[in-house]
Amino acid sequence: MLCQTIQRPGVPEVSLKTFVMDPIPGMLEGDIRPAVIVCPGGGYTHLSAREGENIAVWLNANGFHAFVLHYSLMKKGDHPKTFDKPLFDLSWAMACVRSHSEEWRLDPERIAVIGFSAGGHLAASLGVSWNRPEIAQELGIPQGSNRPNALILSYAVLSEGPFDRRGVPTRTGGDGAEPWEGHDTKVGEHTPPCFLWHTGEDQVVPVENSLLFAAALRRHNIPFELHVFEKGGHGLSTCQADVAGSPAGIMPENRQWMGLCLTFLRRQFHMR
Amino acid sequence: MLYETITREKNPEVTLKTFVMDPIPGMLGGDIRPAVVICPGGAYAFLSPRESESLAVWFNANGFHAFVLNYSVNQERDSKKPLKDRPLMDASWALSLIRARAGEWHLDPERIAIMGFSAGGHAAASLGVFWNREDIPQKLGIPKNSNKPNALVLCYPVILAGEFSHMGSLANLCGDDPEEQLKMSLDRFVGEQTPPTFLWHTMEDGSVPVENSMFFAAALRRYNVPFELHIFEKGGHGLSTCQADVSGSESGILPETGRWMELCLTFLRRQFKML
């Protein structure tokens, strides 16, 4: 394992933790692995310890290199609608991982991003906006080097929808006075294949976020899977006791998202 | 993650790699985790990378701290210079060291399992039956009982000398003398000191016969030691997680046999009273 923390140059609060597996010689599929960048949730006000390292080691255990991104958080005066620092952080991280492909023995065309809640918002923002030319210019990275090859969106904040007007609490983080800009309106042919999961009972980020985003993917013929489980609140992570703050967080039936997600990623990445 | 390599002073080729998770505040079970020490296989001649890190991160993903023990091996496969007690001493050193750092690493000193594959299963099982030998703490300068494992996980383990033995492992460990090998035929030494044990094997194993697990289980039964034994029909020796990332050929990808992993977690969680 290569475990190290890489700082984003000039942005000391942003870093990428590497969980790069040792190569095993003689394996059927060679020693070049796919990779996943993990974006923990936390409403853009903090980074949840329940959606970081434990996700990285799970991916490791299934043959992926993994990385945990500590991205920029909102400060007083930051406006949810214009706050896009994390998109630059994630673009930097993606380009950084891709540029280390040889050294870390990873496939530069099989790099996914997984995000939880607000981290899902961030992952999706890269999925819909990675090709904005000013990102590569500002970061000084090659055009396209920040492109994700797949997205995993876990109970993600994604869209503006009619549910706002029903008075349902829809947004996490920030002052919440104005909604995020919806990602569903920016989906296009440049958006990579997406796996989404959510719970119908989520009281913090309504399931419509995933439903509307999936509808946009469908409209643009982007391969996707969407799994909505009936039971369970927001922020279940792996649904296991080690990340559960209460008995309600231990949900073996919802934990099936993990097997479904691996099957989806392996299919997209042509893995066994 | 605290990832570091600790070297055994007396024996620098012996190392313990730590996969110690960061604590998460506010969780239901607190932030003190159980731990597992992993002994890769390799016929007591090498250490298989297919049975090391991939298991450690799997345990991490399920709430355990993990450690990979690179114990002494007989690289020249010279049965004139057998390893004798060295792997047992290495395992004792590792358990004692981990237990001594329980506070620092946020782990429960009474919930430390040792897991081994093939010859590594022999190393793990040898600790399970011999940990209370009085010469061990004396030789190592460790507190009595500090090397005790709280559970064993034995994956297609080498256990037996004689008819069903894996000759290479036994020769590398004990030399060629059948009497010496019999001293390491571990089913004979199971007793009340042996901790709860999970075993799995494949019936078709052409390298380490399934009798190795069956005879050990029969001995556990005799002493009323809690155990589970899962014998799968299909698959050869050394399947590890049965997944593509640790498979050298198509025949190593066996999802049905890979069910041992859930069974093992269920067993460990029950023994360790985890949620």
H or E element: which one contains B34?
A: strand B33-39
Stretch B80-87: mean pLDDT: 98
Q: Spell out which residues of chain A touch residue B58, defining contact as CB-CB under 8 Å.
A: 57, 61
Provide the shortest C-alpha distance from residue A183 to chain B (in Å).
Answer: 31
**Mapping DSSP to helix (H, G, I), strand (E, B) and coil, where does residue B78 land?**
coil
Over range B79-103, report the average pLDDT. 98
Most distant CA pair in chain A, distance: 58
Q: From chain A, pick out residues whose CB is under 8 angstroms from the CB of B253.
A: 28, 272
**Residues of chain B positioned with their CB less than 8 A from the CB of A30:** none
CB of B58 within 8 Å of any CB in chain A?
Answer: yes
Q: Burial code of A63-75, b = ≥16 C-beta within 10 A, e = fewer?
A: bbbbbbbbbbbbe
ipTM of the complex: 0.89
pLDDT of residue A175: 43
Q: Can you give the pLDDT at residue A165?
A: 37
pLDDT digit string (tens) for B108-161? 999 999 999 999 999 999 999 999 999 999 999 999 999 999 999 999 999 999
Task: For B2, name the nearest residue in chain A, comparing CA atoms only.
Answer: A3
Low-confidence ranges of chain A (pLDDT < 50): 161-177
Residue pair A136/A92 in contact (Cβ under 8 Å)? The answer is: no
Query: How many distinct structural domains can be found in chain A?
Result: 1
Query: Between chains, do B29 and A242 touch, taking CB under 8 Å as contact?
Result: yes
User: Sign of the C-alpha dihedral, residues B185, B188, B194, B195?
Assistant: positive
Dig out the tokens for B11 from the structure. Answer: 């024996």
> What residues does each domain of chain B span?
2-271
Q: What is the domain-level CATH number for residue A263? A: 3.40.50.1820
pTM value is: 0.92
pLDDT for A7 equals: 98
Q: How far is the alpha carbon of A219 from chain B, nearest alpha carbon, in Å? A: 35
Residue A83: CB atoms within 10 Å: 18
Q: Which residues constitute the domain of residue A157?
A: 2-268
Q: Which residue of B has its CA nearest to A239?
A: B62
pLDDT, residue A173, reads 40
CB contact under 8 A, B19 and A238: no
Backbone angles phi, psi at A113, to 5 degrees: -125, 130
Backbone torsions φ then ψ of A229, nearest 5 degrees = -95, 145
pLDDT at B98 over 70: yes
Amino acid found at B192: E
> Among candidates B40, B43, B140, B33, which has minimal Cα distance to B86?
B140
Contacts 24+ apart (CB under 8 A), B188-194: B188/B219, B189/B129, B189/B130, B190/B129, B190/B216, B190/B219, B190/B220, B190/B222, B190/B223, B190/B225, B191/B129, B191/B223, B192/B223, B192/B225, B193/B129, B193/B131, B193/B132, B194/B128, B194/B129, B194/B152, B194/B220, B194/B223, B194/B225
Instruction: Name the residue among B49, B62, B248 with its Cβ closest to that of A28.
Output: B248
On whether any CB of chain A is under 8 Å from the CB of B67, the answer is no
How far A246 CA lies from chain B's nearest CA (Å)? 6
> Which CATH number is associated with domain B2-271?
3.40.50.1820
With tokens 């992570």, the residue in question is A237
For the stretch A41-59, pLDDT in tens is 998 999 999 999 999 999 9
Q: Which pLDDT belongs to residue B258?
A: 96
